[in-house]
Amino acid sequence: MVKQNLLKGKLENGETVIGPFCIVPSMTMIDTLGYSGMDFCILDTEHGPMDLQTITDLCIAADGTGVSPIVRVGENNERLILRALDVGSSGVQVPQINQKSDAEEVVQSAKYSPIGHRGLSIFTRAGEYFKHAGKDHTDNQNDNTLVIVHIEGQRGLNNLDEIMSVDGIDVLFLGPYDISQSLGIPGQVTDPKVEKAIREATDKARSLGRYVGSYAKDVEMGKWLIDIGVQYLSINTDATIYMQSCEKIVNDLRK
């Protein structure tokens, strides 16, 4: 929307930002994230059940308590990226970026001319429903929309240098679970091989001035990722956080 992207501003100020993946289609669950102090939420349409109407409602709920909504689309698809941004999200997160051309396609889809070719409508929520007749809309969106790409396997890691050469990418998100699978140890995200791959990629990206994101299954892993330079930290998933909290309450009461 025609406003400063608070999440992008925090990254530019050197802050570490924290937020969960969200698969529960609940405005109340999103609302609580802002009160909890989370910086962002990733509305997951790749692995979650959400449709576009739900995403729109959750973006509105997120804006209400100041937690920045990021939409993870299911694939590197121009139409999906366009719709994820038109609903007024703070940015888009795109999976399976393995080579330079993949990253270029994301930027072309997410940015308006002269940077990309995102389809233009100023009658959307992102355009504030034509309230200001689209004044400065394309420039504001180009400046404020966060573009996050997932590096999720050995091929992406091998091509990291050329992926990072693409202008318009804000965050390189290292997916530990897919990286573990590509290394032949699926799910073993704290294995030394996975940790080495993530550390080396983080060091390389940060040396070139890039923001790095990744996913932590728990606080211990999250602290490790922050210590090695991850600045955009996704911590767990809303449904799992809720389940684990309920499980702890039950176990504590039944001791």
Residue 209's pLDDT is: 87
The tokens for 224 are 């490790």
DSSP H helices, 24-159, are 27-36, 52-65, 78-86, 100-110, 137-144, 154-158
Residue 97: name the closest of 196, 181, 163, 145 by CA. 163
Given CA atoms 84, 47, 28, 146 in this order, what sign does their dihedral have?
negative
* C-alpha span between 232 and 226 (Å, rounded): 9
Instruction: Work out the number of other CB atoms within 10 angstroms of the CB of residue 109.
Output: 24
Residue 84: name the closest of 137, 148, 31, 29 by CA. 148
With pLDDT > 90 as the criterion, what percentage of the chain qualifies? Answer: 91
Average pLDDT over residues 185-198: 95
Confidence of residue 2 (pLDDT cuts 50, 70, 90): very low
The tokens for 117 are 């070719």
* C-alpha span between 106 and 200 (Å, rounded): 24
Residue 231's pLDDT is: 98
Residue 1's pLDDT is: 42
Three-class secondary structure assignment of 158-194:
HCHHHHHCCCCCCEEEECHHHHHHHCCCCCCCCCHHH
Residue 20's pLDDT is: 98
Residue 64's pLDDT is: 92
Integer-rounded Cα radius of gyration of the chain: 18
For each of the domains in the chain, give its residue range(s) and CATH number, in order of start: 6-253 (3.20.20.60)
Omega of the bond leading into 114 within 30 degrees of 0 (cis): yes
Query: 129 vs 254, which has greater pLDDT?
Result: 254
226-238 pLDDT per residue, tens: 999 999 999 999 9
Return the bridge partners of 216, or none: 235
13-55 pLDDT per residue, tens: 999 999 999 999 999 999 999 999 999 999 999 999 999 999 9
- Give yes or no for a contact between 83 and 52, defined as CB atoms under 8 angstroms apart: yes
Residue 181 pLDDT > 90: yes
- Give yes or no for a contact between 142 and 112, defined as CB atoms under 8 angstroms apart: yes
pTM: 0.94
